[in-house]
Structure 1
Amino acid sequence: MRPAFDEAEELSLLRGTMRRFVNDHMPRPEAARWDAESIFPVEVFRKLAALGVFGLSIPEEYGGAGRNIPATMIVIEELSRRGVAMSIPYVLAACYGGMNILECGNEDQKRALLPKCAAGELMLAFGVTEPDVGGDVASVKTTARRTGDVIKVNGTKRYITGANIADYIYTLVRSDDALPRYKNLSILLIPRTAKGVEIRKLDMLGLRSGAWTTEIIFDDVEVSVQNIVGGEAGWNEGWSYIAGPGLDVEKLEVGAIALGIAEAAVDDAWEYAETREQFGKPISNYQNIRHMLADARTDLHACRLMLYSAAGLAQAGRPCGIESSMAKLFICERAKQVVLNCQLIFGAYGCDLDLDMQRYVRDILILPIAGGSSAIQRNNLANRMRLRL
């Protein structure tokens, strides 16, 4: 399937490189095993790092290949066509690590951490959501109490992706109860192995890769003031970091994962329809099937245009909050319907645990919720476009 638009030559070359990597190092049986056994394929991850693609989110001065958000989305999209076992760890390093530290870290943190992110040697988990806090991010209850140069953290985070393999948890905390809402938040880099950090695996319907969905308990965890994202200037400035451009790009990351999964489902359903025979002819002869597949290709085309249009705005440093929310909302919702229709084309085979289609379904159902639910995106859009209350 050709791209939905004319990509720059270097982006098309990157897409071809990623497709060859997936074919050579992520065979279907292995991808199914990684999902079934929640495996993080470390050796494949190292081979991916050797391509240099982790540096696509990081400027050359910090050891990267040059900040290129559309290229980063291509890597996520193409890896996700074979499942999330590699695309989610890639996001933990290149995006949660590279993009967040680049945008929010102080110079010392950038010099120390970004070269490791660019090499695929450091990953961050995004520690925001809590048992009673989803979309209302500013209401986090995890506390950070500072005494001199030591900060003590207590609280619980839930539905945090990849904390079991991350080096740090990029943790939003309430750092001063005396200050007003939005002015009382900080972000800390909490080492996964710090004393008092307990990580529990949550058994989820989808996204069952080796980057687990987790609950994290912080019990009197102590970190240095050097672990404040942004340094001293970042204390009680966490809201400006969370609500900044990095969050807009996170929406695109989730959209790229959803798009990759939906593309894989359509490719499989297309091939199945041309080879599965009923009543003496391939089911691709039947109008209902033809229409479902034509609609699916149309939806994928629209999704690609929205994703890479918003990514282009982010790359140019232009405001893209509205466009990224639109892209996240549209792509995840349409991709979900595309995958469910592809499952219908497969019939009973679409529910067979030995085939990939059921994994596409399980994974896609999570994505309209992850990274800000569809309802939150609709609220964001109405608010940002100043719809009167």
Structure 2
Amino acid sequence: MLDLETRAQLVATIRRFVDDRLIPAEAEVAEQDAIPSDIIQEMRDLGLFGLSIPEEFGGLGLGMADKAALIFEIGRAAPAFRSIFATNVGIGSQGIVIDGTPEQKAAYLPRIASGELIGSFALTEPDVGSDAGSVRTSAVRDGAFYVLNGTKRFITNAPLAGLFTVMARTDATQKGARGVSAFAVEAGMPGLSTGKPEKKMGQQGAHVCDVIFENCRVPASALIGGVEGMGFKTAMKVLDKGRLHIAAACVGLAERIIDDMMDHAVTRTQFGKSIADFQMLQVMFADSRAEAYAARAMVEDAARRRDAGEDVSVLASCAKMFASEMVGRVADRNVQVHGGAGYIREYRAEQLFRDARLFRIYEGTTQIQQGIIARAMASEARERAGL
């Protein structure tokens, strides 16, 4: 963990970067559906692509609490900026960090940490979303190779990716997650192609598309960890970090939106006074502030517990569920406080409203998180009852 002074300096640096470079570029990114290359290079220079990658491989090696402190700041800008490096510090690299072979770590982690390689996590399929254990993409062993066939859908950063972490079924006789393995597949392999980037509701500048495998032959050394049937377990090991990352991003965006809301409220006058003085709007302000504070406290608590070695899978689900729902409510209130201006693109309220909507879906929908939490509660209750 970073000492408090170093963390404070790093947080201040990222805050300045967000205020001076990212927020002013939001309108351009939304209009062009692309992040300027010079901003991406500045992100590389700041080390954002390697936040959670061990220092021995060129990353910053941050713990969860330190990483959350930075994501709170990055999250204040439009989510596309975070998305460009999020897979590198999350599910696009952590499978290799946790379960990769020494050769895989040496080959990929330094390039991921520097941002030379954009990582992408290929799990979701046309008929496989929340039911991740039903992966249909196949990986059939053929001598020193595996042959991959199947289609992955809505894969973040796929158009830019240099490396895909691919979940594929290596044992067709095993149902569910037990037959699923993870592969590190480099872009440009014969038989690997990407589809047309999707046009999305929000988060312009963050690109998703299909990833298609047609008799794609990858070396057996691409099997992460060198063991079949471990892919789903590898993915599960990094989910709590990913969900806390998303929760922290939701907190950052909510705090930004609250600032925008209040800046508008104190300068907008109606009936001879600032609308910030209207009691019915003050309810929205207070609810937003309290809920954002609660979400921040949840993330910080769960992150500290994870760094201390505790199992925080349920706490991570709680934080992700609450924070993603919270930022949606805050974004909606912001549109309402802006009134007609909230529906006009120039004021950014409508863009951030659309951007916020995705947080309730990826890294496990709200309903998936509720199921995880409820099952854990029932299990604890049965244990107390001796059942």
Q: TM tier, shorter chain?
A: over 0.9
Cα distance in 2 for partners of 1:273, 1:180 equals 56
Residue number among 291, 300, 309 corresponding to 2:283 in the alignment: 291
Q: Indicate if the aligned counterparts of 1:76 and 1:90 stay in contact, CA closer than 8 A.
A: no
CA offset at residue 12 of structure 1? 2.6
Q: Indicate if the aligned counterparts of 1:56 and 1:71 stay in contact, CA closer than 8 A.
A: no
Residue number among 332, 335, 356 corresponding to 1:340 in the alignment: 332
1:127–1:97 distance in 2 versus 1, CA, 3 Å: closer
Q: Indicate if the aligned counterparts of 1:142 and 1:153 stay in contact, CA closer than 8 A.
A: yes
Q: Indicate if the aligned counterparts of 2:91 and 2:235 stay in contact, CA closer than 8 A.
A: no
Residue-by-residue CA offset, 1:170-203 (whole Å, 9 max, x unaligned): 1111111123432211011222322222322111
Residue number among 64, 67, 84 corresponding to 2:62 in the alignment: 67
CA offset at residue 274 of structure 1? 0.1
Partner of 2:302: 310
Partner of 2:258: 266
The runs of 5 or more residues in structure 1 that have no matched partner are 1-6
| Superposition map of 1:182-193 within 5 A | 182-193=177-188
CA offset at residue 308 of structure 1? 1.5
Q: Which moved more, 1:355-364 or 1:195-204?
A: 195-204
Q: Indicate if the aligned counterparts of 1:163 and 1:192 stay in contact, CA closer than 8 A.
A: no
Residue-by-residue CA offset, 1:330-385 (whole Å, 9 max, x unaligned): 00011111111111100111111122111111011111111100000011111223
SS of the equivalent of 1:208 reads coil
Partner of 1:236: 229
| Superposition map of 1:1-389 within 5 A | 8-28=4-24, 30-200=25-195, 201-209=197-205, 211-230=206-225, 232-233=226-227, 235-244=228-237, 246-387=238-379
The alignment yields a C-alpha RMSD, in angstroms, of 1.8
Q: Which moved more, 1:325-334 or 1:54-63?
A: 54-63
Cα distance in 1 for partners of 2:72, 2:116 equals 21
For 1:261, give the aligned amino acid: L
Cα distance in 1 for partners of 2:4, 2:93 equals 23
Cα distance in 1 for partners of 2:252, 2:192 equals 34
CA offset at residue 120 of structure 1? 2.1
Q: Indicate if the aligned counterparts of 2:243 and 2:320 stay in contact, CA closer than 8 A.
A: yes
Q: Indicate if the aligned counterparts of 1:92 and 1:166 stay in contact, CA closer than 8 A.
A: no
For 1:328, give the aligned amino acid: K
Cα distance in 1 for partners of 2:286, 2:167 equals 44
Q: Indicate if the aligned counterparts of 2:23 and 2:78 stay in contact, CA closer than 8 A.
A: no
For 1:125, give the aligned amino acid: S
CA offset at residue 70 of structure 1? 2.0
Residue-by-residue CA offset, 1:94-134 (whole Å, 9 max, x unaligned): 22344332112111111222222222222211111111111
CA offset at residue 277 of structure 1? 0.5
The runs of 5 or more residues in structure 2 that have no matched partner are 383-387
For 2:200, give the aligned amino acid: M
Cα distance in 2 for partners of 1:226, 1:40 equals 34
The percentage of aligned residue pairs carrying the same residue is 31
Cα distance in 1 for partners of 2:176, 2:92 equals 26
SS of the equivalent of 1:182 reads helix
1:363–1:262 distance in 2 versus 1, CA, 3 Å: same
Q: How many residues align?
A: 378
CA offset at residue 268 of structure 1? 0.4
Residue-by-residue CA offset, 1:8-45 (whole Å, 9 max, x unaligned): 333332221111111232242x2111122210322212
CA offset at residue 67 of structure 1? 3.1
Cα distance in 2 for partners of 1:319, 1:300 equals 24
SS of the equivalent of 1:367 reads helix
Bigger proportion of residues as helix: 2
1:162–1:55 distance in 2 versus 1, CA, 3 Å: closer
Cα distance in 1 for partners of 2:93, 2:62 equals 10
Cα distance in 2 for partners of 1:67, 1:111 equals 19
